[in-house]
Chains A and B, each alone.
Chain A
Amino acid sequence: MERDWKAELDDLLKDAGSRPRDTIPVLHQIQEHFDHIPPAALPFIARRLRVSESELFGVLSFYRAFTLKPKGKHTITVCLGTACHVRGSERIAEELETVLGVSAGDTTADGLFTLETVNCLGCCAIGPVMVVDGVTHARTSPQTARDLVENIRTGEKKS
């Protein structure tokens, strides 16, 4: 049976606005709920916000926070801000690319990890910084990055 996107979205967005200016907050809410913007829902979102689908697509593809692809179970975000950069964050991102076997922005084939980079998390004094599932880790290194991934993998195997 076809999914009833309208009902689902109406329910999710019952407290949200429906004017064009509410586009970004609405997209945030959908992204948070589904961990991506389901492409099939786009016509319904556009109708609700009274914008054209192409306008909506333009907006959501402009901003890095919105994705059309589902994310992995765990999201690892490496900060590449200047302060982290001068302390070696690029090596950490590369280490994770090697360990996970994906490029930044992608999700592992087993759906376990999504690797992302960000241009600054504003935790510049404790860099290099990475965020794993919403938890910020301070003063990281390629080694700690590898360990974090291993820990999650081990935890996943057990459960």
Chain B
Amino acid sequence: MNRLLHPGHLEDWRKRLIDETSPVRRTIVVTAGTCGRASGALEIRDALQAEIDRLGAGDNVGLLVTGCHGFCEMEPSVIVQPEGIFYGKLKPEDAPAIVKQTALAGKVVERLALEIPGTERRAAKLEQIPFYRKQMRLVSENNFRVDPERIEDYIRLGGYHGLLRGLYDMTADGVIEEIRASGLRGRGGAGFPTALKWDLCRRSSGHPKYVVCNADEGDPGAYMDRSLLEGNPHAVIEGLIIGAYAIGASEGFVYVRGEYPLAVRNVERAIGQARECGLLGKAILGSEFSFDLHVVEGAGAFVSGEETAMMASIEGRKAFPRPRPPYPAEAGLWGKPTNINNVETWATVPIILDRGSAWFASIGTEKSKGTKIFSLVGQVRNTGLVEVPMGVTLREIVEEIGGGVPEGRKLKAVQTGGPSGGCIPAASADLVIDYETLAKAGSIMGSGGMIVLDDRTCMVDLARYYLHFLEEESCGKCAPCRVGTRQMSELLRKMTAGKADESDLRRLEQLAQTVKTASLCGLGQTAANPVLSTLAHFRSEYEAHIREKRCPARVCREIISSPCQYACPIGQEASTYIALVAAGRIKEAYEVIVKDNPLPSICGRACDHPCEIACKAGESGEPISIRAIKRYVCDRAAAEGWDQEVRGDKDRVPRDRENVAIIGGGPAGLTAAYDLAEKGFRPTVFEALPVAGGMLAAGIPNHRLPKTIIAAEVEAIRKAGVEIRTGVRVGRDVTIEGLKTDGFKAFFLATGAWKSMRLNVPGEESKGVLQSLPYLKAVNLGEPVNIGPRVIVVGGGNSAIDAARAAVRDPNVKSVTILYRRTRAEMPAFPEEVEAAIDEGIDLKLLAAPVKILAKNGKVAGALCLKMKLGDKDAGGRRKPVPVEGSDYKVEAETVILAVGERSDTSCLTEKDGVAVSASGSVIADPETKATSVPGVFAGGDVVTGPASVIEAMAAGRRAAAMIECYLEGRPLLPEYKLTRPSLYIEAVALTPEEAVSAARPPMPHLAPAKRAKNFKEVELGLKEKAALGEARRCLRCDLETEDGRRAIKALKLKSGGRP
């Protein structure tokens, strides 16, 4: 290695290195930082080298192994230079194509190019890739270009030139002046001006002086310092030498976290090389300045990152912080003046000296100059390290560079600055990033950690996470931090377990203030920030945990217990009855079902099963077929006569309480009535139609939900003490006023959403245009309707599919066509229903929008349609259909059935009743208490929400019943919220090894299409015993994952004499 004894030697060496570099046509750069290596970068390197050797292409193709390129999501990756062609997520078998096609022929391997989300394009060039395009890489640029093991690479690219300029062209004061003019501020925390810090230390009396590089990057979620030390250690070393020269320090330390072994190795090696070359040690580059540098490896204590603690650690003591002043500039290491900056700050210094302060100061905002590296991690598509000029917006970083949150999620907040920082809510995403604005938003720049949080991140859990971290990392020296973080952590644990009350929230806030005010060091003073910041922006989430025992993001396990039970609006204990089915205890399973559900067989067929959507098994495979299991249990109960036995006569409840009128006999009304009867009230259901069941009876055809099933469940409800008067239309036959005089003390409005919406196209008034609900009602009530022979159904919801499948069963109908303006993926109907419709010969025309109903002599002749394509996303995140110009075509038909939506039906109300109705025609009711504007009148289900699901309507009915009880007892309307827990714990079954590997969701047996033609027999036949039990055994039993669950299972095992 060269010894540089004279300033000219550096330039000589650089020139020689350039001359000696054999010119290759292209270089394949392999990124091999810790992330790259963990993802297999070295295997890629070996495969590329083998291919180069095999082809004897070494003279034309170079291979360079560098540190991290920042796009960690895509690791392992390579860049082929000089074109800058990027390939990510590589496998060793991709090596031949990269060498042959790209490195030798300069062509892009299309299949390896990056897909650009939301488009059909692929991109390979760095300047086309959104992740790189928006970045401005100054400090991290050499991570692309140098082999961190070779000082020669750094020198060849002009390394140590800044040092040369400092040593020979400037005085020490001049260097400080240059840094001052650049506007550089510390990159590790609060952004203290670097020149000011240096100047203080320089002017401080005391000898010797020290410089320290803080590479104890302890903020979880930030790793730019690791990347710089791993990928470009000489830049940090050069910065330290320049700083030491300016300050007058003779010795320096790089304090690196022990958790970063590759960084320790690379920086130690680089220091050795610099020393050997005469860049460290005596008379650096032939000048009078001497300086040496040592690595101190941290030993796993977060507090070491605090500067006074770090100095104690370097001295060989416990990393205890001490009060400041005196500041390190006056009394630091061994009581001598010491200057501490972090890695990124030191690595920026040589660039400023090399290119000049004026250039540097031209980048950024008024008070924040230059660039900053952020680690963009968490729930974001493109995770990695990004370097941007100060002054870009948070949205640019997250959305444009980061590609936004994963598909289907919503950005909630961005956490910046680590545990000492705070959360910036999505609403503030247009915030300009610099020190001042971040501070104003209640966060800090910190070292640049940027953790993206989406709707599946629970903010209370996040605060608990940070406080747990801080509790463990508190050094223990001062009581406010030691005891305060523990107390806060404990309170947050209580909240995330659903066990906290309002007083805990007050205590938490008080503690946060105390810890903030009274702690000794910066860590303690900011330890409450995760609490204060999440409380400031997401207080409602805390309140949901505390008051409602709900975790909106569905993260907190002690609150959720089983996601299926948690997600069910009426809290059906799916995991309990599934466990009983798995154990073959079917009758007990039935008892568990009917305990919470007065319409079990109906739900077993027509529920939209939010439980299955929440099911954990669905995250790594298919969710448990919960609805089918429920139906199996109910069918079995009916066959065995258990339903009579279990639900039986409910006269045991004395029925001596007030009369309550339920208006509407759908799922909401029936559930409310049943619950009220159970509480001893005398409920009467007023139903306008000749049958009870509401939409269940009149909206859903028999082939999907047999009338006999509905009749049986209505009968059970009647038996429980509910009077049902069918054929009575409130608002016409009787009025609420009248019912009051008849002795009804409270009312529940549950009249549903029966008003059909129009399509608003010409020709809609023609004869032969029907609305789906009146059509289905007629079919279901056995009234004659003349349709066909050719039928068009417009819409993509369940109502459209029901109408189409009912129409295809009409003897006069020859063909049925469904027109839907989006694609199948966007159809709101159950996928299995769409599948069944196609099986029955219904023609599904997608991306088709009728723009006119064609008519002849006032009678329908067909529809004029436009082809659509999917455009940009609308506010709800669904891609909007846009018409394709000139694509119109005709579909001929004699009947058009419109199923494009329904609205609430409030015809039961008269003006005298005084119940407030919204502009869109829905009854206004409090979502929690179901109370309307009139005391004693409650409302729920579709009449309030617009068309929703059976189970949501039932939940509204259940809540209304509870609130009506409060009302009639003269108590305030306060819903009782309980933690989700099963009523009993069942041991989990042990799967056989074959089951563990091959168990899958069983297909639902169907009536063969030929057997269902032109009749309304039930199509789904229900699971057979073996399939149902097998499916139940597949359940992951999340209910056993809570502390209660674990304890219960331990007790069960002890009782049965097994191993605990």
* Chain B residues near A137 (CB-CB < 8 A): 38
Instruction: Give Cα distance in the complex from A122 to B449, angstroms.
Output: 10
Q: Is A42 interfacial (CB 8 A cutoff)? A: no
Instruction: Give Cα distance in the complex from A118 to B894, angstroms.
Output: 70
Instruction: Give Cα distance in the complex from A130 to B466, angstroms.
Output: 20
The verdict on A86 contacting B296 (CB below 8 Å), with A123-B34, A137-B38 known, is no
Q: B312 to nearest A CB, angstroms?
A: 10
The verdict on A20 contacting B315 (CB below 8 Å), with A86-B379, A138-B39 known, is yes
The verdict on A21 contacting B226 (CB below 8 Å), with A65-B299, A124-B383, A125-B383 known, is no
Q: Is A59 interfacial (CB 8 A cutoff)? A: yes
Q: Please state if B465 and A85 are interface contacts (CB–CB under 8 Å).
A: yes
Instruction: Give Cα distance in the complex from A63 to B299, angstroms.
Output: 5
* Chain A residues near B415 (CB-CB < 8 A): 82
Interface mask (B109-142 → A, CB under 8 Å = 1, otherwise 0): 0000000000000000000000000000000000
Q: B368 to nearest A CB, angstroms?
A: 24
The verdict on A65 contacting B300 (CB below 8 Å), with A83-B377, A136-B38 known, is yes
Q: How many residues of A contact B (CB 8 A)?
A: 44
* Chain A residues near B298 (CB-CB < 8 A): 65
Q: Please state if B451 and A83 are interface contacts (CB–CB under 8 Å).
A: yes
The verdict on A122 contacting B377 (CB below 8 Å), with A63-B300, A81-B221, A86-B453 known, is no
Neighbour of A122 across the interface among B217, B317, B384, CB < 8 A: B217
Q: Please state if B299 and A66 are interface contacts (CB–CB under 8 Å).
A: yes
* Chain A residues near B257 (CB-CB < 8 A): 122
* Chain A residues near B75 (CB-CB < 8 A): 125-126, 138
Interface centre among A23, A49, A121, A136 (most CB of B within 10 A): A121
Q: Which residue of A lies closest to B415 (CB)?
A: A82
Q: Is B199 interfacial (CB 8 A cutoff)? A: no
Instruction: Give Cα distance in the complex from A124 to B452, angstroms.
Output: 12
Q: Is A27 interfacial (CB 8 A cutoff)? A: yes
Q: B636 to nearest A CB, angstroms?
A: 34
Neighbour of A120 across the interface among B39, B220, B301, CB < 8 A: B220
Interface mask (B355-376 → A, CB under 8 Å = 1, otherwise 0): 0000000000000000000011
The verdict on A82 contacting B465 (CB below 8 Å), with A120-B219, A125-B35, A125-B72 known, is yes
Q: Please state if B315 and A83 are interface contacts (CB–CB under 8 Å).
A: no
Instruction: Give Cα distance in the complex from A23 to B462, angstroms.
Output: 36
Q: A45 to nearest B CB, angstroms?
A: 12
Instruction: Give Cα distance in the complex from A21 to B473, angstroms.
Output: 23
Interface mask (B138-163 → A, CB under 8 Å = 1, otherwise 0): 00000000000000000000000000
Q: Please state if A138 and B35 are interface contacts (CB–CB under 8 Å).
A: yes
Q: Please state if A125 and B218 are interface contacts (CB–CB under 8 Å).
A: no
Interface mask (B230-243 → A, CB under 8 Å = 1, otherwise 0): 00000000000000
Q: A84 to nearest B CB, angstroms?
A: 8
* Chain B residues near A124 (CB-CB < 8 A): 72, 220-223, 375, 377, 383, 449
* Chain A residues near B377 (CB-CB < 8 A): 82-83, 124-125, 127
Q: Which of B143-185 contact A (CB under 8 A)?
A: none
Q: Which residue of B lies closest to A58 (CB)?
A: B318
Q: Is B73 interfacial (CB 8 A cutoff)? A: yes
Instruction: Give Cα distance in the complex from A135 to B75, angstroms.
Output: 16
Q: Is B327 interfacial (CB 8 A cutoff)? A: no
Q: Is B378 interfacial (CB 8 A cutoff)? A: yes
Q: Which of A23-49 contact B (CB under 8 A)?
A: 23-25, 27-28, 49
Neighbour of B301 across the interface among A64, A125, A143, CB < 8 A: A64
Instruction: Give Cα distance in the complex from A81 to B35, angstroms.
Output: 15
* Chain B residues near A134 (CB-CB < 8 A): 261
Instruction: Give Cα distance in the complex from A24 to B258, angstroms.
Output: 11
Instruction: Give Cα distance in the complex from A127 to B72, angstroms.
Output: 10
The verdict on A59 contacting B316 (CB below 8 Å), with A82-B415, A123-B38, A125-B375 known, is yes
Q: Please state if B259 and A121 are interface contacts (CB–CB under 8 Å).
A: yes
Q: Is B457 interfacial (CB 8 A cutoff)? A: yes
* Chain A residues near B258 (CB-CB < 8 A): 28, 65
Q: B363 to nearest A CB, angstroms?
A: 25
* Chain B residues near A51 (CB-CB < 8 A): 316
Instruction: Give Cα distance in the complex from A159 to B679, angstroms.
Output: 68
Interface centre among B220, B301, B318, B469 (most CB of A within 10 A): B220
* Chain B residues near A64 (CB-CB < 8 A): 299-301
Q: Is A52 interfacial (CB 8 A cutoff)? A: no
* Chain B residues near A81 (CB-CB < 8 A): 220-221
Q: Please state if A62 and B38 are interface contacts (CB–CB under 8 Å).
A: no
Instruction: Give Cα distance in the complex from A63 to B73, angstroms.
Output: 32
Q: B240 to nearest A CB, angstroms?
A: 19
Q: Please state if B296 and A25 are interface contacts (CB–CB under 8 Å).
A: yes
* Chain B residues near A133 (CB-CB < 8 A): none
Q: Please state if B220 and A82 are interface contacts (CB–CB under 8 Å).
A: yes
* Chain A residues near B620 (CB-CB < 8 A): 141, 143
Q: Is A151 interfacial (CB 8 A cutoff)? A: no
Q: Is A147 interfacial (CB 8 A cutoff)? A: no
* Chain A residues near B301 (CB-CB < 8 A): 62-64
Q: Please state if B35 and A126 are interface contacts (CB–CB under 8 Å).
A: yes
Q: Please state if B35 and A24 are interface contacts (CB–CB under 8 Å).
A: no
* Chain B residues near A80 (CB-CB < 8 A): 220, 469
Neighbour of A20 across the interface among B73, B261, B316, CB < 8 A: B316
Instruction: Give Cα distance in the complex from A124 to B315, angstroms.
Output: 31
Interface mask (A138-159 → B, CB under 8 Å = 1, otherwise 0): 1001010000000000000000
* Chain A residues near B297 (CB-CB < 8 A): 24-25, 28
* Chain B residues near A83 (CB-CB < 8 A): 220-221, 377-378, 383, 451
Q: Which residue of A lies closest to B70 (CB)?
A: A125
Q: Is A22 interfacial (CB 8 A cutoff)? A: yes
Q: Please state if A118 and B299 are interface contacts (CB–CB under 8 Å).
A: no
Neighbour of B378 across the interface among A23, A82, A122, CB < 8 A: A82
Instruction: Give Cα distance in the complex from A51 to B315, angstroms.
Output: 12
Instruction: Give Cα distance in the complex from A80 to B469, angstroms.
Output: 9
Q: Which residue of B lies closest to A136 (CB)?
A: B38
Instruction: Give Cα distance in the complex from A124 to B377, angstroms.
Output: 6
Q: Please state if B39 and A21 are interface contacts (CB–CB under 8 Å).
A: no
Q: Is A96 interfacial (CB 8 A cutoff)? A: no
Q: Please state if A118 and B37 are interface contacts (CB–CB under 8 Å).
A: no
Instruction: Give Cα distance in the complex from A62 to B992, angstroms.
Output: 47
Q: Which residue of B lies closest to A20 (CB)?
A: B316
Q: Please state if B299 and A120 are interface contacts (CB–CB under 8 Å).
A: no
Q: Is B302 interfacial (CB 8 A cutoff)? A: yes
Q: Please state if B473 and A120 are interface contacts (CB–CB under 8 Å).
A: no
* Chain B residues near A120 (CB-CB < 8 A): 218-223, 259
Interface centre among A55, A80, A123 (most CB of B within 10 A): A123
* Chain B residues near A22 (CB-CB < 8 A): 316
Instruction: Give Cα distance in the complex from A136 to B33, angstroms.
Output: 11
Instruction: Give Cα distance in the complex from A126 to B475, angstroms.
Output: 30
Q: A145 to nearest B CB, angstroms?
A: 14
Instruction: Give Cα distance in the complex from A104 to B318, angstroms.
Output: 24
Q: Is A129 interfacial (CB 8 A cutoff)? A: yes
Instruction: Give Cα distance in the complex from A134 to B262, angstroms.
Output: 11
Q: Which residue of A lies closest to B317 (CB)?
A: A59
Instruction: Give Cα distance in the complex from A22 to B220, angstroms.
Output: 28
Q: A80 to nearest B CB, angstroms?
A: 8
Interface mask (B25-69 → A, CB under 8 Å = 1, otherwise 0): 000000000110111000000000000000000000000000000
* Chain B residues near A20 (CB-CB < 8 A): 315-317
* Chain A residues near B466 (CB-CB < 8 A): 82
Q: Is B319 interfacial (CB 8 A cutoff)? A: yes
Instruction: Give Cα distance in the complex from A141 to B383, angstroms.
Output: 18
Neighbour of B223 across the interface among A19, A27, A123, A143, CB < 8 A: A123
Known: A21-B314, A138-B75. 5 other contacts (CB 8 A): A28-B297, A64-B301, A82-B378, A86-B457, A125-B75
Cross-chain pairs A/B with CB under 8 angstroms, 15 sampled: A23-B317, A24-B297, A25-B297, A65-B298, A66-B299, A83-B377, A86-B457, A119-B218, A119-B302, A120-B223, A124-B223, A125-B383, A126-B75, A126-B383, A136-B37
Residues of chain B having any CB pair with chain A under 8 Å: 34-35, 37-39, 72-73, 75, 217-223, 226, 257-261, 296-302, 313-319, 375-379, 383-385, 415, 418, 449, 451, 453, 457, 462, 465-466, 469, 472-473, 475, 620
A-B pairs, top 4 by smallest CB distance, nearest first, are A125-B72, A64-B300, A122-B223, A63-B299
